[in-house]
Structure 1
Amino acid sequence: MSDAAAPGPFPGGHLFPHEELRAPTTRPLSVYVHIPFCAVRCGYCDFNTYTPSQLAGMNMDDYLAAVHAEIAAAARALGTGRAVSTVFFGGGTPTMATPAQLGEVLADLRDTFGLVPGAEVTTEANPETLDRARLETLLGSGFNRLSLGMQSADEQVLARLDRHHTPGRALQVARWAHEVGFPDVSLDLIYGTPGESLDSWRATLDAALGVAPEHLSAYSLIVEEGTALARRIRHGELAMPDEDAEADEYLLAERMLSTAGLANYEISNWALPGHEARHNLAYWRSDDWWGFGPGAHSHVHGVRWWNVRHPRRYAALLGEGARPREDFEVIDAPTRHEERVLLELRIADGLPVGELTGTERARLAEPLSRGLVTVVGDRVHLTLQGRLLADAVTRDLLD
């Protein structure tokens, strides 16, 4: 279904292939802004990111001019009657842009679409890119949530992940963020790194909890093909992550975080009450969102599309007044059903039993008998043991 070869101008040709993008709706609208720049590439990362040497000839101003152009294009495609509920700047390293540059993009979104009262506005950040003054500027520009890539408090683990900040830097930035007035600070952690012990993971959790984050994400290390980490494992320099050890680390995280008052609201995410990441919940609940930037995915009214991946190609298309879309799909009923089961089982709210087909409801008996799910009222929920086997539970349920 790709039509990237014939992009068409704005606004003479339709930016997107379905008039349904403008259909009346009460569904929330979220925005993702991709900043694909990183100072260095971490060894485990397979995201669509680029170091300065890979983008020679393109600076941040050039790139953000293209983002502003896509915002204008989105307004032509969607209309301007839908205020934005959540904004998330991700990457890459969004804070390689200056706080003023990020604030200008946020102001453009506010002026173009409007933000609902109390909108959640998040930026990811690597700790070495922030200081107290930059945090104050971000807060003053309208950002109210900070997501910090801490990963570990163990210097050896950080080195294996090719992270270039010291173990204490993320903790210091989290303290500064609270001091200047950020109401929501989230820390991202990774467990399962080769050579990481349970004691090391416990120390990381202790350190993270010591700065009182409102939110914490803990992800198991995934070895992605094509990454430096995968090559090191293939050459025998590092061992593959051990699934049993990862399960032990996950259970330790659940015990320590729940004891500290952070409730698990999605398999890999814990938060104090009222501090759940509303932007991520929009994804898991299949709300509407527009992703700005190269490789960014969007979903509006059952149409999903994604942009060309390379920043220079993305900027060139927008500079020509052409759409940056790589491809799109219309989500049919079977796909929508499969995605609802996959995503909504992950969150603590669970999945409505009525979403399951008759044969799928009959299959509930097996995970129920094994203690992997519970049914409370009209919703199916994963148990703690079920969270460890979520992919298998979903696979066995689906027709």
Structure 2
Amino acid sequence: MPAQPEGETPPLDGRLPLSVGEGAADRTLSLYVHVPYCRVRCGYCDFNTYTAEELGPGANRADYSENLARELDLSLRVLEESGAGAGPGGREVSTIFFGGGTPTLLSADVLAGVLRDIRARFTLAAGAEVTTEANPDTLSPEYLRTLADAGFTRISLGMQSAVPHVLRTLDRTHEASRIPEVVSWVKDAGLQVSLDLIYGTPGESLEDWRTSVEAALACAPDHVSAYSLIVEPGTRMGVQVRRGELPMPDEDDLADKYELVDELLAGAGYRWYEVSNWSRSEDTRCAHNMAYWRNADWWGYGPGAHSHIGGVRFWNAKHPRAWSDRLTAGHSPAVGREVLDVPTQEIERIMLAARITHELRTDSLPAGSGALLAEFAGDGLLDPEALAAGWFEPTLSGRLLADHMVRRLTDLIA
């Protein structure tokens, strides 16, 4: 797992600078709930996850919702005291996302209970999006109906691949053949469904990837996410690559697979709206992730969760035991924070908005960027018609080189 960032030590009571209240009424508020439990830890994953055997009393699944309720109470107090309030009469919550780990390793009643605990403290906006990530082998029709009845609106299903040997390399525990059945259960429960795919797994051919994308499309999901595999040094896969047991993903191969998924999804009526995400319509975009990309306010609950409120970023103790102990003692679980200065906020605004279609206005870019934009358009990285209309709109090639363009633009920031 990656080390946590360095930062200042936050107060034990979790209070935030009063500056976070400035303009809070004009910012949306989202909540992220991190559920750190997994049946097995996949070899490629560097997320903050733990198997049941690693955790004892106080830090395991049985104690999770009680600890989370403590953090919900703390967040409500801190937001109110900072002027960024979200209690009765304060800001409404636009989106909630349960991520992990595997949130659906908790029973449906526990997840529904956590959502009830949130509703008891916060006001949800009309039509608020409530998503949970899920592994296909943790779901049943009854489970999904319980979530729908509780107010969940969306399932983000970790399909990853439809090819058995690729799933084995990724240490995924589900059968690819089960995906269509699970997707039908999600739809029958009245929930939107997103299928999450990974490309670039060692040993995955271009035809393997085509098979996976076509299998996902055959399920007619509302939304598709396709992420390039990143081999992290501290993971089991990272060790295997270092030892030569698995090949490192090839950049040209990754580009070919990105171009293929975009071609197949576009041909089926899906449109990209963020570099790694496609949806059937604006109504089926992931509103929670849009909140991240727009640098809105969000509070992250659970071990290792990160938050961002009014230009202040803070993060919780990573291990479930440390998170639990701090909350039980009446303290904030936050162990570090960073107050972002204006140039850093501007760099992050550009970095995130550049990934979204029709999000970044060229007149909001640093002085002197005109020549760079013309160069990017000349190189085929920006849509010239959109540029003429004042939008930074990457082409397919530009999406592959978005980070390169952002680096050059943000170098202009003093």
TM, length-normalised to structure 2 = 0.92
Match for 1:53: what amino acid?
Answer: E
Match for 1:62: what amino acid?
Answer: D
Distance in 2 separating the partners of 1:16 and 1:294 = 18
Contact 1:21 1:77 in 2 (8 A): no
Match for 2:346: what amino acid?
Answer: H
Deviation at 1:71, TM superposition (A): 0.4
Counterpart residue number, 1:136: 145
Counterpart residue number, 2:397: 385
Deviation at 1:22, TM superposition (A): 4.0
Counterpart residue number, 1:30: 30
Deviation at 1:2, TM superposition (A): 2.6
Determine helix, strand or coil for the equivalent of 2:159.
strand
Counterparts in 2 of 1:398 and 1:3: CA distance versus 1, 3 Å: closer
Distance in 2 separating the partners of 1:242 and 1:366 = 27
Give the counterpart of 1:7 among 3, 12, 18: 12
Q: Is 1:104 aligned to residue 113 of structure 2?
A: yes
Give the counterpart of 2:272 among 264, 275, 278: 264
Q: Is 1:18 aligned to residue 27 of structure 2?
A: no
Deviation at 1:171, TM superposition (A): 2.6
Q: Is 1:241 aligned to residue 249 of structure 2?
A: yes
Deviation at 1:99, TM superposition (A): 0.9
Counterparts in 2 of 1:376 and 1:87: CA distance versus 1, 3 Å: farther
Deviation at 1:35, TM superposition (A): 0.2
Contact 1:16 1:77 in 2 (8 A): yes
Distance in 2 separating the partners of 1:17 and 1:192 = 41
Determine helix, strand or coil for the equivalent of 2:392.
strand
Determine helix, strand or coil for the equivalent of 1:46.
coil
Counterpart residue number, 1:357: 366
Contact 2:16 2:78 in 1 (8 A): no
Match for 1:39: what amino acid?
Answer: R
Deviation at 1:26, TM superposition (A): 2.5
Contact 2:302 2:323 in 1 (8 A): yes
Match for 2:406: what amino acid?
Answer: T
**Within-5 A mapping of 1:190-339:** 190-273=198-281, 274-339=283-348
Distance in 2 separating the partners of 1:140 and 1:39 = 26
Determine helix, strand or coil for the equivalent of 1:393.
helix
Long gaps (5+) in structure 2 = 1-6, 81-86
Q: Is 1:40 aligned to residue 40 of structure 2?
A: yes
Distance in 2 separating the partners of 1:329 and 1:231 = 32
Higher mean C-alpha deviation, range 318-327 or range 59-68: 59-68
Deviation at 1:395, TM superposition (A): 1.4
Distance in 2 separating the partners of 1:111 and 1:162 = 38
Distance in 2 separating the partners of 1:20 and 1:51 = 39
Contact 2:366 2:409 in 1 (8 A): no
Counterpart residue number, 1:12: none
Counterpart residue number, 2:84: none
Give the counterpart of 1:123 among 117, 122, 132: 132
Match for 1:272: what amino acid?
Answer: R
Deviation at 1:17, TM superposition (A): 3.2
Distance in 2 separating the partners of 1:361 and 1:223 = 36
Long gaps (5+) in structure 1 = 9-14
Deviation at 1:110, TM superposition (A): 1.2
Counterpart residue number, 1:83: 92
Counterpart residue number, 2:406: 394
Q: Percent identity?
A: 49
Deviation at 1:56, TM superposition (A): 2.8
Distance in 2 separating the partners of 1:253 and 1:114 = 38
Contact 2:112 2:147 in 1 (8 A): yes
Match for 1:381: what amino acid?
Answer: E
Counterparts in 2 of 1:378 and 1:196: CA distance versus 1, 3 Å: same
| Aligned alpha-carbon RMSD (Å) | 1.3
Q: Deviations over 1:293-326 (max 9, x none)?
A: 1111111111111111111111110111001111
Deviation at 1:350, TM superposition (A): 3.4
Deviation at 1:135, TM superposition (A): 0.7
Determine helix, strand or coil for the equivalent of 2:44.
coil
Match for 2:9: what amino acid?
Answer: D
Deviation at 1:367, TM superposition (A): 1.0
Counterpart residue number, 1:71: 72
Match for 2:12: what amino acid?
Answer: P
Q: Is 1:341 aligned to residue 350 of structure 2?
A: yes
Q: Is 1:166 aligned to residue 193 of structure 2?
A: no
Deviation at 1:229, TM superposition (A): 0.6
Contact 2:195 2:216 in 1 (8 A): yes
Deviation at 1:196, TM superposition (A): 0.8
Contact 1:150 1:187 in 2 (8 A): yes
Distance in 2 separating the partners of 1:303 and 1:33 = 19
Q: Is 1:181 aligned to residue 180 of structure 2?
A: no
Contact 1:22 1:77 in 2 (8 A): no
Distance in 1 separating the partners of 2:222 and 2:110 = 26
